[in-house]
Each structure stands twice: as structure tokens, then as C-alpha cells.
Chain A
């Protein structure tokens, strides 16, 4: 557990350092995710301890969104003033993105023989 958490933090730290040094327009944790992914491909399996620690974090992923979400109290006036453009943009663009993605994938990607047919 401790070793796995250390590994996750090390990947994140390395990601932050790479982001700072390279000026890449990527958040540190995303670079850390790529680093861990490369490490897993090289190793060829997910170590059991790492799997347990990651599951502990990812099972409660939505809890981690709460502190940032409470930040809405800072923006109540803005949300009140701009509720029409904000809600129109959120609803229409989210539905558009779902349809565009699904449609492109269905058009271009024929399912492999052993995968369920649409």
C-alpha cells in the first residue's frame, strides 16, 4: 500500500518536473499517467499492491471532486448573470460531442469478429 502510493506520487512528481522543464502544455498528473502506463507496458502486468491502492483511489473518485465543486459558492453571481449562455453551452455542446464521437466510431470502426455486433 505504502510502496504503491509512493510510486503514484513519484510518477506525479516526475510529471510535474517534466512539465516545468519542457514547457509542454500538459498538467503534471497527466504526464505521470503516461509514465505509469509506459512502466506497466514494460513490466507486462499490474502489481497486486498497486492495483489495490489504485482501486482505493478510483472507487471514490467522485468524492475527490467535491472540494473543487464547492467553489461554485465563489461564482454564484457569475452563474446567475450568465445562466443562459452557460447552460445552453453545457447542454447542447455535451450532446453534440456524444453524438459526433459515437457516430464517427460507428462509421469507421467495424467490430472485430469476437466482439459484439451493434
Chain B
């Protein structure tokens, strides 16, 4: 009996169906737990799902390669989802045009300060160069951040983890630090959350109101664009 079970496991573990299903089930479990804990940003469903799947891989001795062979069908959808971000961007276009210049300057300032301060701090505190590069696009939405990290010579999979942690930090501490800095304009609050904490910050911003959320999703899209253009140029110019 035990032998048969083991044979079934060996067969399933080599099959995309198992890890694809595990991914969906773990995410639903993460969502359930997140709601159970009162929707606190710290109990982020993505983080919970990652911990659950990581623990399962450890317990069964499975490799990330085996896991990813199944889960890549979910991962693949990040591409079309990024393209689909054009739709909320288009819907907010009238608001954007009205405040185009201050908005562009704010996003530029935020994009550069996010990337440069993260790289500088990590470098000063003794992180390896590869980690420093992988940190650079940490405020950008995952699919784009992974693309940027790959182009710069970082580790896309490390970047993905850092991006998700950044989103959780920004969403949970962002409202507090904005109050401390006396930023009260809902558009400005939304831009801050979207630039620094991408989709996870945007989910938090929508809880504060419609305008905050709209500007946050806009900031997420424009920051992705700004960082994807600026960072490779900066790296080429600095000769890194």
C-alpha cells in the first residue's frame, strides 16, 4: 500500500496537473486566511500561498524546477495581464491629462528614489552585487520587474520575491508614513502607494477611496514604464 502510494506520488509529481492544482489551492487557502485575519496587509494572500507551497516542497523534497514546470501556466498569464493594464490606464486618462506635468515629475522622482535608495542602502550594508541589481526594480509590478532584472543581469526569481515583499511593506506602512509626512491630497497619496508598492499598494489605496485607487493604479503603470526605460539607460551610462 505504502509502495503504491509512493508510485502514485512519483507519477503525479512529474505531472503539471499536481503543481498547477497546488498553486490554485494554496492561493485560495491564502485568501481564506487573509479574510479570516481581517484583511491585514501583513497577512497577504500571496505571501501565505508562497509559504504554504514552499513548506510543501520542503516536506516532499520536491525541486523548484518540478514545481515551476506545472505552475508556469499561471506564471505565463502575467504577460497578457500586463498588456491588460492599458485598460484602467485608458479609463483614467482624462484625470491624468489635467495634472500631467506634476504627475510626471512626481513619478519620475519616486521611480528614481525607489531604485537608487534601495541599491545604495543594500550596497553600503554589504549585500552582494547580484542582490543589489535584483533590488533595483523592486517597486515595479512583478512581470515588468522580472524582465528588467533579467536585462540588467540580476536574478529574476529573487527580484520577484523582493517585489512581493516591497508591496506588502508599502501597503502596510504606506498610509502611516503619508500621514507622518502630512501628504493629504488623495491623488498624491495614491501616486505614492502605486509608485512604491505596485499592485499590492494599489489594492490598499482603493480601500481609501476611488480617487486614491485610480491614481495608484495609474502610478503603478507609469512607474513600470519609467523604470523600464530609466534603469537600463542608467546602468549603461554608469557602466555597471
Smallest CB gap from B70: residue in A: A67
Digitize A8-30: 1 where CB-to-B-CB distance is under 8 Å, 0 elsewhere: 11011001000000000111111
Smallest CB gap from B195: residue in A: A101
The reply to whether A25 and B90 contact each other, CB–CB distance below 8 Å, is no
Interface residues of A in 92-118 (CB under 8 A from B): 92-106, 108-109, 111-112, 115-116, 118
The answer to whether residues A65 and B142 also contact, given A99-B178, A109-B106 and a CB cut-off of 8 A, is yes
Complex partner residue of B174 from A78, A98, A105, CB under 8 angstroms: A98
Q: B residues within 8 Å of A by Cβ?
A: 23-24, 26-27, 45-47, 49-50, 53-54, 57-58, 64, 67-68, 71-72, 74-75, 77-91, 93, 95, 98-99, 101-103, 105-107, 109-111, 113-114, 117-119, 121-128, 131, 135, 138-139, 142-144, 146-148, 151, 155-158, 160-166, 169-170, 173-174, 177-178, 181, 183-189, 191-193, 195-197, 199-200, 203, 211, 219, 221, 224-225, 228-229, 231-233
A104→B191 CA distance, assembly (Å): 10
What's the minimum C-beta distance from A16 to chain B, rounded to whole angstroms?
9
Q: A residues within 8 Å of B by Cβ?
A: 5, 8-9, 11-12, 15, 25-30, 32-37, 40-41, 46, 50-51, 53-54, 57-58, 61-75, 78-79, 82, 84-86, 88-106, 108-109, 111-112, 115-116, 118
**Best-buried of A11, A25, A57 by chain B (most CB within 10 Å):** A25
A98→B200 CA distance, assembly (Å): 13
Smallest CB gap from B183: residue in A: A102
Note all chain B residues with C-beta closer than 8 A to A32: 79, 82-83
A25→B78 CA distance, assembly (Å): 19
The answer to whether residues A118 and B158 also contact, given A25-B151, A25-B232, A104-B106 and a CB cut-off of 8 A, is no
A68→B167 CA distance, assembly (Å): 14
A25→B136 CA distance, assembly (Å): 15
The answer to whether residues A75 and B158 also contact, given A36-B86, A104-B106 and a CB cut-off of 8 A, is yes
The reply to whether B64 and A74 contact each other, CB–CB distance below 8 Å, is yes
The answer to whether residues A93 and B114 also contact, given A68-B146, A74-B64, A101-B195 and a CB cut-off of 8 A, is yes
The reply to whether A101 and B219 contact each other, CB–CB distance below 8 Å, is yes
Complex partner residue of A93 from B71, B121, B160, CB under 8 angstroms: B121
The answer to whether residues A85 and B126 also contact, given A68-B142, A99-B177 and a CB cut-off of 8 A, is yes
